[in-house]
Amino acid sequence: MKRRGFTLLELILAMVVLGVLASAVFPTTRHMVKRQKEVELRRALLEMRTAIDRFKKAHDEGLIEVRDLRQFGYPKDFEQLVDGVPFKKDPGQTVRFLRRIPVDPMTGEREWGMRSVQDEPDTQSWGRENVFDVYSLSDGVSLDGEDYGEW
């Protein structure tokens, strides 16, 4: 007589083996998701810092006009990078430096911390006069132990 199917012991043993394998995979998956978010955060910070640098360079080269002297050639906020500023050679043309403000992958919001030229280097408050640097508002810690706000 041939046996068909599995015994209860075989099913329990298979479930235990699957449970052990799953417990090893889930922490690795969480680690990979966090690593991916960190890569996205670095990309977003680089994109915004590059836009700020391009704005400053265009101002210093006299390509764009910034009327507020307190800006020191930096954008007054991120909206100015997205909305653009008039091009000096063709006042009807607008120069934009960002397509949109990126989402902070750690907070899921389009809100970022900003630093002004006039701000103290270690302060978390923004003087609202210009944007010299940008950082994440997340209070989380990266896989290497550094605060995301310090990136």
User: pTM higher than 0.85 for the full model?
Assistant: no
The string of pLDDT tens digits covering residues 16-51 is: 998 888 887 777 778 888 999 999 999 999 999 999
Q: What is the pLDDT of residue 117?
A: 80
Query: How far from 68 is each of 42, 71, 113, 114, 143, CA to CA, in Å?
Result: 30, 6, 22, 18, 41
- Tell me if 3 is assigned to some domain: no
Condensed to tens digits (0 to 9), the pLDDT of residues 47-74 reads 999 999 999 999 999 898 777 766 788 9
**pLDDT for 143:** 86
The domain total for the chain is 1
When mean pLDDT is compared across 16-20, 77-81, 119-123, 141-145, the lowest value belongs to 119-123
CA 123/CA 86 separation, integer angstroms? 32
Judge whether 99 lies within some domain.
yes
> CA 71, 75, 79, 82 torsion: positive or negative?
positive
Query: By residue range, what is the domain housing residue 129?
Result: 8-150
Residue 133 lies in a domain: yes
The per-residue pLDDT for range 77-118, each reduced to its tens digit, is 999 999 999 888 887 889 999 999 999 999 999 999 998 887
2 falls in which pLDDT band (50, 70, 90)?
A: low
**Position 39 in a domain:** yes
Q: CA 77 to CA 126: how far, in whole Å?
A: 11
